[in-house]
Chain A
């Protein structure tokens, strides 16, 4: 029972108080690039949730059952990135089959999931915090959902912002960063509720 509460705490902490995007700044590139429309954001968000959950679990298995016995922990970066790249390849093929318009819309951003810092970041945080297998799974899925939540909120705000007047120098990235800052402030409000390191 105690264990279960721990897992739920990690899950919600990863979504709200330790949001991978707004407190650890990971996955900013695709966050700024794709967050113009809700529909595309939803597509990328879903892909990220899927890839993040799967890779955190896979990387946990690889690290503790292959790299540690062989004493090759220093090679974790290379191995993790290969696992992630292979997985992104699979997701890309699935999206191409399932939804042609989505595939066209995401275009260049799908390969970018490989270099999406959030995916690798989740695997590295999981090692540093020494999570167990179950904890890694919940941390991965929570972080993915947290990232999707942030990008969806941002896309919604940006869609409505097309009608507003923005100072010239702030157009594009500038205003997006300021909104992200305000969102980070809002998410900090959750930090009293629960916390992981």
Chain B
């Protein structure tokens, strides 16, 4: 029973209620880091870690957080975990850290994390909050990865920094895809496809 509920919750957070499609949240970093797959993977792991940890922490503290300053408390909890992520990335992957630049720090202002803390962790016990955090993180990550793979292959004809045999020889790089407009178009088209074929429009939506 409990396991079934957990599984359902997991699928719901990663699928139909996917933060990127359903709520168009947290797309700042979706767009900024997706020109190279490697950076995207690092960023995704950072987001999943922050999301899971901050959800659990907020949930543990939910009875003691005063309602009026809860946003501030949540933000500080999130910021603390982001500092951990930032320090770890700087120490282990200095190259990636330089490329990601300010975007690791900007995980703090990623609306998804705040949204999950506010909407879920504040009202639920720690374990479901952990599941919700991981599921939302994964839901966010696979969208990022789809866009990143598409942008890197079309934009620079490489995958994970390596050239693809056969394909790279004749492909003309769509340089627009690694630049700003490409990200907007890629996400818009993905949302279009998902909304049309995968998730039928729910009547209650605006």
Contacts and interface: CB of A to CB of B under 8 A. Distances in A.
B80 interface: yes
Contact of B27 (A25, A77, A114): A25
B45 interface: no
A178 B82 CA distance: 31
B202 interface: no
Contacts of A117: 28-29, 106, 109-110
B111 A29 contact: yes
Contacts of B185: 177-178, 181
B192 A174 contact: yes
A27 B185 CA distance: 17
B72 A181 contact: no
A170 B194 CA distance: 10
B102 A121 contact: yes
Contacts, number: 131
**Chain A interface residue bracket vs B:** 35 or more
Interface in A11-28: 22-28
A98 interface: no
Interface of A is mostly: helix
Given A85-B72, A117-B110, A32 B24 contact: yes
A188 to B, nearest CB: 7
Interface residues of B, number: 45
B101 interface: yes
A9 interface: no
Nearest to B71: A111
A81 B75 contact: yes
B196 A168 contact: yes
B131 interface: no
A170 B181 CA distance: 17
Contacts of B32: 24-26
B75 A114 contact: yes
Interface of B: 24-32, 71-72, 75-76, 79-80, 82-83, 86-87, 101-102, 105-106, 108-111, 114, 176, 179-185, 187-188, 191-193, 195-196, 201, 206
